[in-house]
Amino acid sequence: LDISWFTESMSLGKPLKVEPRHCLGDSSSSVSSDKATQETPSYACQRRTPLHHHNKEIVDALQILALSASFQGSEARYLGFTRAASVLKCLPFTLQSAEEVKDLQFCGGHSKTVIQEILEDRVCREVEMVKNSEHYQSMKVGFKVLTGIFGVGIRTADKWYRDGIRSLSDLNEIEGKLTGEQKAGLLHYTDLQQPVTRDEAERVEQLVKGALQSFVPDVQVTMTGGFRRGKQEGHDVDFLITHPNEEALNGLLRKAVAWLDSKGSILYHHIKGRSHNFARSSTMDGHETCYAIFALPNACPEKSPDAGTIQPDLDKSPPRNWKAVRVDLVVAPYSEYSYALLGWTGSKFFYPLLQHFERELRRFSLQVKKMSLNSHGLFDIEKKCHYPATSEEEIFAHLGLLYLTPSERNA
Ligand code: DCT
Ligand code: MG
């Protein structure tokens, strides 16, 4: 089987010699003696991963098994299935036979059995069993509900789940222990569960730009996150703010947010100040950040249905003319802007997204290049030096990777 199309069209930069230690999770793929397999790009940041791909059924099945593995606490199996799914997202054609994945990194062993069964029988028995199992269903529903609350990360959801909390009503019992963020998340839960559309994101952008530019007219504001990767909807809208003159950024976020608040555009906000002493190796982000819930005015003023005819006056409450939308505003100094842009464009590693470009990029930097990458910069651990960058392209070049556009980072 000729897999040169894979290494040529998707491998970015020099193909890696993959050592078994890189093949976490799926031991069968690490022991192949096939030279072609050893030259398959190993990290997702070495492959172009589009938003839409050709093998949805199989990728969905592998991601169900990945999620189930994570619910059982098996990170190795979780990573094995996630990596197989991630490799298949890059294929430029629809698979017809399991033979076609024979030489692909991470697609052997257990994952191959799943792929084969789906191609031959349209369903995989194991996936169907998992999907219907009580454990998976209750974990999935419970986690989706809990992690769907603004201010609740994986760790909190996990702790609550262990404490027997499964639903929003269970949270009444611990109401006194909820943070302000979580209370706001619960208050606007229904709206925040609705996806944010691109049109809504663009209207948030106008609000945000208007507020910031009223203080600093030439401030740079970029929409990041999933929308920058080409998604048409997301769970929030992310923005990165910078200016060549770092002094222009001092106090800007607080002033702009207070201004928006005074206009009634903000339902909740929490500003985390800039942290100067985050560890170089840390994946934590020390940028000044505002985590907010906006009251986004509706696009068109509400029209009463069937204007002209008399309607029974059942509900006297005035129609709501806004929707609660989650917004993250991040301020990066100009010198760190490109690193912040790369970090905040994602995709990130987080259930239920199961996307992992950022994680892979950082893993590649550390394991292959011995460099520590985060949203502030790139640090060479052996040479003990920083690599400045004025664009995302330069960061990829520092890492010896071919450039991937944001829409190719949907790993
Ligand atoms: N990010 C980060 N540090 C954080 C939070 C997020 O570096 N503390 C990065 C990872 C992805 C990006 O910012 C945007 O995060 P999300 O909005 O959670 O992801 P998304 O891809 O935009 O997903 P969605 O479309 O659902 O908003
Ligand atoms: Mg987002």
Q: What is the pLDDT of residues 34-72, one digit of tens each?
A: 433 434 588 999 999 999 999 999 999 999 999 999 888
- Three-state DSSP class for residue 271: strand
User: Which is higher by pLDDT, 11 or 56?
Assistant: 56
Tell me how far apart the alpha carbons of residues 129 and 109 are, in angstroms, rounded to a whole number. Answer: 19
Tokens 């010198």 correspond to 335
Q: Is 344 in the pocket of ligand 1 (CB under 6 A)?
A: yes
Q: Is the CB of 285 under 6 A from ligand 1?
A: yes
Rounded distance, CA 120 to CA 111, Å?
A: 14
- Answer whether residue 298 shows pLDDT above 50: yes
- pLDDT of residue 354 exceeding 60, the answer is no
Ligand 1 atom 15: residue of nearest CA: 225
Beta strands in 225-370 (DSSP E): 233-234, 237-242, 266-272, 288-297, 322-331
Ligand 1 atom index nearest CA of 355: 21
The answer to whether 292 and 257 are in contact (CB under 8 A) is yes
Q: At what angle do helices 125-132 and 134-147 cross, to 10 degrees?
A: 60
Q: How many CA atoms lie within 13 A of 349 on its CB side?
A: 18
**4 alpha carbon to ligand 1 midpoint, in Å?**
34
pLDDT at 350: 52
Is 310 exposed, middle or buried (CB count within 10 Å of its CB: 0-12, 13-18, 19+)? exposed
Q: Report the separation in Å between the CA atom of 328 and the middle of ligand 2, taken as the mean of its atom positions.
A: 8
Q: Average pLDDT, stretch 388-408?
A: 97
The length of the chain, given as a count of residues:
411
**Please, what is the average pLDDT of the chain?**
85
For the Cβ of 198 lying below 6 angstroms from any atom of ligand 1, the answer is: no
Q: Report pLDDT for 10.
A: 37
Dihedral of CA atoms 225, 346, 352, 76 in degrees, nearest 10, equals: -170
What is the model's pTM?
Answer: 0.85
Positions marked catalytic? 236, 238, 328
pLDDT of residue 316: 66
Cα of 162 from ligand 2 centre, angstroms: 28
Q: Where are the alpha helices (DSSP H) in 99-217?
A: 109-121, 125-132, 134-147, 154-162, 180-187, 189-193, 198-215
The verdict on the CB of residue 102 being under 6 Å from ligand 1 is: no
* 347 upstream amide cis, omega within 30 of 0: yes
Question: What is the C-alpha separation between 43 and 285, in angstroms, rounded?
Answer: 23
Q: How far is the CA of 26 from the centre of ligand 2 (A)?
A: 30
Closest ligand relative to 358 C-alpha: 1
Residue 179's closest CA among 163, 156, 158, 162? Answer: 156
Mind listing the pLDDT tens digit for each residue in 196-245? 999 999 999 999 999 999 999 999 999 999 999 999 999 999 999 999 99
Ligand 1, atom 9: nearest CA belongs to which residue? 344
The pLDDT score that the predictor gives to residue 12 is 40
Instruction: Output Rg (C-alpha) for the chain, integer angstroms.
Output: 23
Q: Whose CA is closest to atom 25 on ligand 1?
A: 234
As a whole number of angstroms, the distance between CA 104 and CA 362 comes to: 22
Give tens-digit pLDDT for 126-152. Answer: 999 999 999 899 888 888 899 899 999
Give the model's pLDDT for residue 29: 33
234 Cβ closer than 6 Å to some ligand 1 atom: yes
**39 CB under 6 A from ligand 1?**
no
